């Protein structure tokens, strides 16, 4: 029996009324036949011509771009970036929306995820519904904050640097990224060719003049002589093991937050927005209100940002245990916090290391998990430790909402939630939820 080929709908066009925003940088619309479209480059309430970019007759939903705006929203502006729009760079989602509208859309996504996955209203989450811009980012429509201190450039077959198109390996060649921090832009990555390279990550540290590029060569390619417009350290990603190795200059950059300097090696994780680390540390500490002599956990601790802030506030009689899976990040965290004898950093996955520590009670917990969240097993373990307060730092509202539901099962309620627009022009948003035992009440 022959299988009937499934008909692709890519390229089909539908005139639709655009519905609410959805998680992922798109809005939901329905065709007259009731088929669901996830439409990028549109805004709620608009009437647009949507062209399908992904999907078949049997697909549950189709992905599409708004290629013609028939009835525009009052929140629409012309995208400031010439590389933003249907079929172009996939880095930004909301260049076509006024800055205030972008934050409202992000707030709507958070509210929808909280309701759908955690059964919480904003009021029940102790959230006023706002998404707060970082200091200095409240700009007029048409102006773009230069916030991205780490930019991953892709390189095409001709050695030209650019950024990936949305959900594609295809490279949109650019001459300038508008959201790149000045320290990245002034390196001049886009001005030269990068023969034999697959990608280039450019890093401009906050609080120091450190600049770094990390080169990933194509298989068998030789490393080029790197001559950029500013002094820069060069690292390379090895083909054999995927490890990052120094070519010349420092293998780390120095970042600064909470009146401390942090070493971040080999392109390790640090918040991308220059104000993000300080903003999040303050939100976490204001929520936890650490007391001298308390004990704390810092989970997924990276290079020790929250562990350092906790140790500083818990004093000589307090103690902090940090857990981090990345080997280089652990080395950096131990270096960064070497002057705190009562801070210990363990390497490994949280779900494996935490049970082995034998810890049965703790006063405070900070967790800043990866995009997928902490998960049911880890959350239930944390709920058994009796912490008086827990700070959950989340870069994905869906993962946050799922984990908040697990915390509720474990006897914790959300005391407050704050949301920060630390990724302007994109759909990403950062949240800090403060939890406490449910019986304490508000």
Please list the active-site residues: 395
What SS3 class is residue 415?
Answer: strand
- CB burial of 116-133 (b: ≥16 within 10 Å; e: otherwise) equals ebbebebeebbbeeebbb
H helices present in 238-323, as ranges: 276-288, 305-314
Q: Which residues have a Cβ under 8 Å from the Cβ of 5 and sit 6 or more positions away?
A: none
**Helix (H) or strand (E) run with residue 329 in it:** helix 327-336
The vertex-5 CA angle with 3 and 6, nearest 5°, equals 125
- Residue 331 phi, psi (nearest 5): -60, -45
> Nearest CA to 347 among 357, 362, 359?
357
Sign of CA dihedral 385, 389, 395, 400: positive
Q: Are strands 319-324 and 343-347 parallel, antiparallel or unpaired?
A: parallel
Q: What is the DSSP string of 344-401?
A: EEEES-HHHHHHHH-----SEEEE---TT---HHHHHHHHTT--SEEEEEES-HHHHH
Scan for tokens 């950059």, then name that residue.
253
Please provide the DSSP assignment of 114-141 as one string: IIIII---TTTTT--S-EEEPTT----T
End-to-end CA distance of the chain: 65
Contact call for residues 389 and 364 (beta carbons, < 8 A)? yes
Cβ atoms of 272 and 149 within 8 Å: the answer is yes
In degrees to the nearest 10, what's the CA dihedral of 408, 421, 177, 242?
-30
Residue 338 carries which DSSP code?
Answer: T
| Euclidean distance between CA atoms 418 and 404, whole angstroms | 14
Residues 189 and 214 sit within 8 Å (Cβ to Cβ):
no
């Amino acid at each position: 029996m022959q299988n009937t080929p499934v008909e692709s709908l890519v390229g089909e066009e539908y005139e639709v009324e655009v519905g609410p925003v959805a998680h992922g940088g798109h809005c939901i619309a329905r065709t007259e036949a009731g088929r669901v479209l996830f439409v990028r480059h549109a805004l709620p309430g608009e009437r647009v011509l949507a062209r399908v970019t992904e999907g078949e007759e049997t697909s549950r939903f189709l992905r599409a771009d708004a290629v013609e705006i028939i009835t525009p929203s009052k929140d629409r502006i012309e995208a400031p970036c010439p590389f933003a729009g249907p079929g172009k760079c996939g880095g930004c989602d909301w260049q076509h929306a006024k800055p205030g509208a972008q934050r409202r859309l992000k707030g709507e996504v958070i509210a929808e995820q909280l309701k759908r996955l955690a059964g919480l209203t904003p009021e029940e989450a102790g959230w006023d519904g706002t998404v707060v811009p970082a200091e200095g980012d409240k700009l007029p429509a048409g102006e773009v904050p230069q916030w991205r201190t780490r930019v991953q450039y892709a390189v095409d077959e001709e050695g030209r640097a650019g950024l990936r198109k949305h959900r594609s390996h295809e490279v949109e060649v650019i001459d300038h990224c508008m959201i790149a921090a000045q320290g990245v832009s002034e390196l001049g990555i886009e001005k030269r060719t990068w023969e034999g390279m697959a990608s280039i990550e450019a890093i401009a540290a906050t609080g120091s003049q450190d600049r770094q590029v990390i080169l990933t060569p194509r298989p068998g390619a030789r490393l080029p002589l790197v001559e950029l417009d500013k002094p820069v350290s060069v690292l390379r990603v090895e083909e054999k093991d995927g490890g990052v190795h120094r070519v010349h200059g420092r293998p780390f950059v120095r970042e600064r937050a909470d009146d401390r300097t942090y070493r971040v090696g080999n392109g390790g994780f640090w918040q991308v927005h220059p104000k993000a680390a300080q903003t999040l540390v303050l939100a976490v500490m204001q929520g936890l209100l650490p007391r001298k002599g308390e004990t704390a956990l810092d989970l997924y601790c990276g290079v020790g940002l929250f562990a350092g802030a906790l140790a500083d506030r818990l004093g000589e009689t307090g103690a902090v245990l940090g857990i981090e899976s990345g080997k280089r990040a652990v080395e950096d965290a131990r270096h960064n916090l070497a002057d705190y004898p009562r801070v210990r950093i363990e390497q490994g996955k949280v779900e494996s290391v935490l049970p082995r520590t034998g810890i049965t009670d703790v006063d405070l917990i900070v967790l800043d998990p990866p995009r997928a969240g902490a998960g049911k097993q880890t959350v239930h373990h944390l709920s058994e430790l009796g912490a008086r307060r827990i700070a959950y730092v989340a870069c994905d509202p869906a993962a946050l909402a799922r984990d908040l539901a697990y915390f509720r099962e474990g006897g914790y309620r959300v005391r407050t939630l704050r949301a920060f627009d630390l990724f302007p022009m994109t759909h990403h948003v950062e949240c800090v939820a403060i939890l406490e035992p449910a019986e304490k009440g508000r």
